[in-house]
Each structure stands twice: as structure tokens, then as C-alpha cells.
């Protein structure tokens, strides 16, 4: 595959290169793409040095696959230009997620929806991916009615500038602010922008994207998204009301048997998911599994994942792998490892 990584100099882009390398994705030619500010900059992949190019040059090279992690505006403008020259775009921004003509894919759940005609494929929001990974198998068994999720999100979810703000504040250095307030030793109930309904855009992503991924509008999700001063992953407190009753041991078995999920739930030994352990891993960790004693058929759990891996890069690369394995990209004959 001739592969373009758009946003290669960013927080997600850096992890994308790592994941492509670790999984030995079949790349015959690699194009590293960023804004005009970074053109000419050198990046390494598999110990080889690559020069960053601009978007127009990348389109002209007609890659088979372009993985975008460069913000919604860049995707809106440039993803269709790549699609026009035959490239399959996998997009990490929110630009196309709720477009009814585009698929929103978590491979473990709905990769089978993909066809060769899908030229722009959306990667869900990072906090949505880890949520639906745990909800999907439970929904199939007990049928969800309503989900209440509160997130504790890593600054790495905002990008390079936010991690720098946290590090500057911890070191007592004045610098550029990615957030309207200090983040170190703070909690901001403010992820992405506020909307007219009083929710943030992040909260509405959590409310809407799961219905599209699970292709089911019979359940609802309400969310509060909070930014906290961690860097390794997002955590979520999740309360799920089902139509049918469940058995806690069976819930643990279902989750343990779901590919991509690790149940870490041994409170007697203080074992539960935390961003410090999820950091750098591809799995979604679930723990603190317990019955909500205030109403029937309701479960509480705690879900943690590395937002840059399963929440972004790993999920996108898994989509690319599915496309290649199922001959859904144009130039499969060219594959070289
Ligand atoms: N961080 C996460 O956990 C996460 C998870 C899921 C999805 N995402 C999405 O992934 C995208 C990138 O996030 P990030 O956290 O990696 O941000 P980031 O660290 O700020 O990196 C942004 C990247 O986009 C590039 N870029 C910006 N404007 C561009 C333009 N006009 N043309 C070409 N490239 C441009 C930047 O290039 P320069 O270095 O040249 O500026 C950089 O490579 C966003 O859409 C975000 O919503 C992020």
C-alpha cells in the first residue's frame, strides 16, 4: 500500500507511525504529511528518515490509503480531494462522523459494513470507542435502555499544545494555554466547545456516535465530559440501565471473552483500570463492575483506554488492515512489506 499519514507531526500522528510499524502494516511507499509549517521537517519510520510534505503533493501522489489526524477543517477540505483520486481516507476528526453517507467504524463491532465504495471512513471519537467496546457485547445480551457516562479525559486528547500546557504548569513555567484555565491540579468540565443546548460537543459525540456504531436508536446516552491533568488515557464512569436483568458473573465473562477488552476487577487486591496502566496499550480495560443498587437491571463500571491508541491510531490502523485483508482498497496488488 502507498500510505499517507496526514497530521504526522501531531500527537495522534506520532502514535499512528508507531502503531503502523508495530503491526507491520504493508507499506510500499509512505508519505508523511502536515501543515505548510512542517514541510521539509524530518521524521523517522522504521529507522528511515522521511521528509514531511504538504497536502497538495500528497494528493498528487495518489496514495491507496490516507489516514487523517489533522483536525476537522483539514479533513473537510482535503479528504474529498484524496477520495477523488481514488484514495480511501480514514479520518480521525469529527468532520464526517455523523454524515449519513459515511460509515463510523469500530472494527470489532461493525467493520463488516465496509465496502470498496467507502472512500471516506470515519474513526469515532476517542471516548466513544472505549465506551462502545464495552457496551456492545452487553447490549447484545441484555439490551440497553439508557447510559449515563461521566468522563475523566487525558490532556493528550487535546493535542501537543495541551500536554505542553500541563507540563509547563507543573514546572512553574509560563507558556501558551490550550485551555481557558490552568489544567494542572484542576478539573475542567469543558471538553471541546459549548453548544446551544448547554452540552459540549464532546458530550454530544458520546450521546450520538454509539447509536450510529451499534446501528440502534432504541437506547439513549447522556454525558458529562471532564478534562483532568493526566496524559495516559481517558477514564469513564458508566451507569447502564438494561431492559433485561443480568448476572454479574456473566457480565464479567462476556466482557472477558470480548476481543480487545481486559477485565481488571479484583478490588480485594486493589486491581482496577487506571490511565497509568492503560497508557501505551491497545486494549480497553474494564473494572469496578457492580450492580447499581438504586434501580433494577442497572450496572456501574469504570472503563479506561489509551485515547491515542485504541481511541485513535490503533482503531484507524485496524480499519486499514480490514480494508487490505478484504481487498477493499484499489491497489492491493502492489503490497510489499
Ligand atoms: N488526541 C486524541 O486523543 C485524539 C483522538 C481521536 C481523534 N483525534 C483527532 O485527531 C486530530 C489530531 O489531533 P492531535 O491530538 O494529534 O492534534 P495535534 O497534536 O495538535 O496535531 C495536529 C496535526 O495536524 C496537522 N495540521 C494542522 N493543521 C493542518 C493543516 N491546515 N494542514 C495539514 N496538517 C495540519 C499538524 O501539523 P503541524 O505540526 O504542521 O501543525 C499536526 O500534525 C484531530 O482532528 C483530533 O480531533 C485526536
CA distances from 54 to 33, 97, 134, 186 (A): 6, 25, 38, 38
86 backbone φψ class: left, alpha, beta (φ>0; ψ -120 to 50): left
Q: Is the pLDDT of residue 67 over 90?
A: yes
Has 157 been labeled as part of a binding site?
A: yes
Q: What is the end-to-end Cα distance of the chain in Å, rounded?
A: 9
Question: What is the C-alpha to C-alpha distance for residues 310 and 127, in angstroms, rounded to an integer?
Answer: 10
* Domains delineated in the chain: 2-123+313-326 (3.40.50.720), 127-154+187-305 (3.30.360.10)
Mean pLDDT score of the chain, rounded to an integer? 96
- Cβ-based burial of 172 (10 A; exposed 0-12, middle 13-18, buried ≥19): exposed
- Would you call 190 a catalytic residue per the annotation? no
Identify whether the C-beta of residue 309 lies closer than 8 Å to the C-beta of residue 298: no
> To 5 degrees, how large is the angle CA 46–CA 52–CA 58?
105
Grid cell 489516514 in the structure block, residue: 67
Question: What is the C-alpha to C-alpha distance for residues 230 and 287, in angstroms, rounded to an integer?
Answer: 19
Report the DSSP beta bridge partners of residue 147.
221, 240
CB of 258 within 6 A of ligand 1: the answer is no
CB of 129 within 6 A of ligand 1: the answer is no
Pocket test for ligand 1, best of 4, 6, 9, 12 (most atoms within 8 A of CB): 12
Q: Please tell me whether residue 259 adopts helix, strand or coil conformation.
A: coil
Report the DSSP beta bridge partners of residue 44.
49
pLDDT band at 336 (very low <50, low <70, confident <90, very high): very low
Question: What is the C-alpha to C-alpha distance for residues 315 and 332, in angstroms, rounded to an integer?
Answer: 21
Grid cell 509512505 in the structure block, residue: 30
- Would you call 191 a catalytic residue per the annotation? no
Element (H, E) at 27: none
Dihedral sign computed on CA atoms, order 283, 160, 167, 234 = negative
Has 258 been labeled as part of a binding site?
A: no
What is the model's pLDDT at position 331? 53
CB of 133 within 6 A of ligand 1: the answer is no
Question: What is the C-alpha to C-alpha distance for residues 42 and 100, in angstroms, rounded to an integer?
Answer: 38
Pocket test for ligand 1, best of 7, 160, 192, 310 (most atoms within 8 A of CB): 7
Regarding predicted confidence, which is higher, 177 or 335?
177
Q: Please identify, by atom number, the ligand 1 atom nearest to the C-alpha of residue 54.
A: 33
Q: How far is the CA of 201 from the centre of ligand 1 (A)?
A: 17
Regarding predicted confidence, which is higher, 334 or 136?
136
Considering the candidates 126, 190, 191, 243, report the single residue annotated as catalytic: 126
Q: Which of 260, 304, 308, 316 is nearest to 278 (CA)?
A: 304
Has 23 been labeled as part of a binding site?
A: no
Q: Please tell me whether residue 7 adopts helix, strand or coil conformation.
A: coil
Question: What is the C-alpha to C-alpha distance for residues 97 and 95, in angstroms, rounded to an integer?
Answer: 6
Q: Which of 170, 173, 132, 124 is nearest to 149 (CA)?
A: 132
Please write the tens of the pLDDT for every residue from 206-251.
Answer: 999 999 999 999 999 999 999 999 999 999 999 999 999 999 999 9
Q: Is the pLDDT of residue 330 over 80?
A: no
For the chain, what percent of residues have pLDDT higher than 70?
A: 98
The DSSP secondary structure of 79-124, one letter per residue, reads HHHHHHTTPEEEE-SSSSTT-TTSEE--HHHHGGG--TT--EEEPP
What is the model's pLDDT at position 333? 40
CB within 8 A of 140, min separation 6: which ones? none
Q: How far is the CA of 10 from the centre of ligand 1 (A)?
A: 5
Mean pLDDT of 66-95: 98
CB of 308 within 6 A of ligand 1: the answer is yes
Amino acid at each position: 500500500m502507498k500510505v499517507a499519514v496526514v497530521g504526522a507531526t501531531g500527537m495522534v500522528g506520532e502514535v499512528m507511525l508507531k502503531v503502523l510499524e508495530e503491526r507491520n502494516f504493508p507499506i510500499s511507499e509512505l508519505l508523511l504529511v502536515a501543515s505548510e509549517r512542517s514541510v521539509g521537517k524530518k521524521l523517522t519510520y522504521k529507522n528511515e528518515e522521511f521528509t514531511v510534505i504538504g497536502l497538495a503533493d500528497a494528493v498528487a501522489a495518489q496514495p491507496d490509503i490516507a489516514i487523517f489526524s489533522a483536525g476537522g477543517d483539514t479533513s473537510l477540505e482535503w479528504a474529498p480531494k484524496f477520495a477523488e483520486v481514488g484514495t480511501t481516507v480514514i479520518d480521525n476528526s469529527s468532520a464526517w462522523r455523523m454524515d449519513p453517507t459515511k460509515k463510523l467504524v469500530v472494527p470489532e463491532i461493525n467493520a463488516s459494513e465496509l465496502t470498496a465504495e467507502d472512500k471516506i471512513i470515519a474513526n469515532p471519537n476517542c471516548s466513544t470507542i472505549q465506551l462502545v467496546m464495552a457496551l456492545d457485547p452487553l447490549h447484545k445480551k441484555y439490551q440497553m435502555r439508557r447510559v449515563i457516562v461521566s468522563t475523566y479525559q487525558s490532556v493528550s486528547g487535546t493535542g501537543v499544545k495541551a500536554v505542553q500546557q500541563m507540563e509547563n504548569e507543573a514546572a512553574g513555567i509560563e507558556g501558551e494555554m490550550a485551555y481557558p484555565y490552568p489544567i494542572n491540579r484542576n478539573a475542567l468540565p469543558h471538553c471541546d466547545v459549548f453548544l446551544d443546548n448547554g452540552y459540549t460537543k464532546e458530550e454530544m459525540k458520546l450521546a450520538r456516535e454509539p447509536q450510529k456504531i451499534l446501528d440502534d436508536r432504541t437506547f439513549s446516552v447522556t454525558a458529562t465530559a471532564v478534562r483532568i491533568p493526566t496524559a495516559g488515557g481517558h477514564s469513564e464512569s458508566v451507569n447502564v440501565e438494561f431492559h433485561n436483568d443480568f448476572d454479574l458473573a456473566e457480565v464479567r465473562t462476556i466482557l472477558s471473552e470480548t476481543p480487545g477488552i481486559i477485565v481488571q476487577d479484583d478490588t480485594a487486591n486493589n486491581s482496577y483500570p487506571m490511565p497509568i496502566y492503560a497508557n501505551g496499550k491497545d486494549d480497553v480495560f474494564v473494572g469496578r463492575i457492580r450492580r447499581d443498587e438504586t434501580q433494577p437491571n442497572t450496572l456501574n463500571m469504570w472503563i479506561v483506554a489509551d485515547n491515542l491508541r485504541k481511541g485513535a491510531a490503533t482503531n484507524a490502523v485496524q480499519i486499514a488492515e480490514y480494508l487490505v485483508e478484504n481487498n477493499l482498497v484499489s491497489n492491493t496488488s502492489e503490497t510489499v512489506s
